Structure 1
Amino acid sequence: MAKSITSSKRDNEKKKNQKREEKQKRKESRKLSGTNSFDDMIAYVDENGMITSTPPVENAKKEEIDIESIVISTPKKVEEEPAILKGRVEFFNEAKGFGFIKNLSGVDKYFFHINNVTDEIVEGNIVTFTLEKGLKGLNAVNVCLVPATEPK
């Protein structure tokens, strides 16, 4: 068994040396033929972004680009004034200081906290409010009681 292991090692070593020699011969033949010169390996990019093997024309017409028209990032968001919505207080827990307002023009309900209420309110009151993004969704802020004389 020991002889077969050493003979296979010799065979493997012979194969490695043979591959090295073949590789060296191929390398030398490529050098002698000179088919892969540096100029053959160069690639150019044309005005449309396509890769070509032909160099660009020196006297070609170049399109003038207005520097001001280049957009580098997204345009700045213009802040709009928040819309004042009308709703009914559906639930209000005075002990914990929070509740929910149902929008009169839809079916959406919004959370509000007592810190965002300007007047004394109870369940069933009609209020006006604006929306603000909170941790778990939209929250009603600037909650104001609608006077009873105003039509509902």
Structure 2
Amino acid sequence: MGESFSKKENRNKKVKAKEDKAQRKKERKMNNNKGKSLEDMLAYVDEDGNLSTEPPKQTRKTEIDSKDIRIGATPRLPEDTTRTGMITFFNTLKGFGFITDDKSGESIFFHINQLTEPVKERDKVSFIKEKSARGYSAAEVKKMDPRTKKS
């Protein structure tokens, strides 16, 4: 009894797949990049930060005294904490609001307990920017005189 058409087709597909696999294996062996010398694998960085195959020129080397090298984070200068801004939102019933900082444009939260005098929306104010658990908040919020722009 002979094979059915689908069995022959499946057998031919398996034979073809084995031949393709053997061909790919042969190509990989021909194009094998293993066993390169150390010189072929090295890459150098030139003075502009670009990779090159040539070592950098020795003439451009400068000696650096080890005492001049500082390791660690650079100390931050204390930033000016007194800022100015405009009250963009204020809810008197809930007792909080937001000030848009003139310098950075960010929205800073304030609580009614931090007000030195009554304020309303669109008032120009000066305040101290403080770091809090939830980001920055404003303290010592003072209304500024609109004519003199001073608090």
TM bracket, shorter-chain basis: 0.3 to 0.5
TM-score (norm: length of structure 1) = 0.44
| Greater Rg by CA | 1
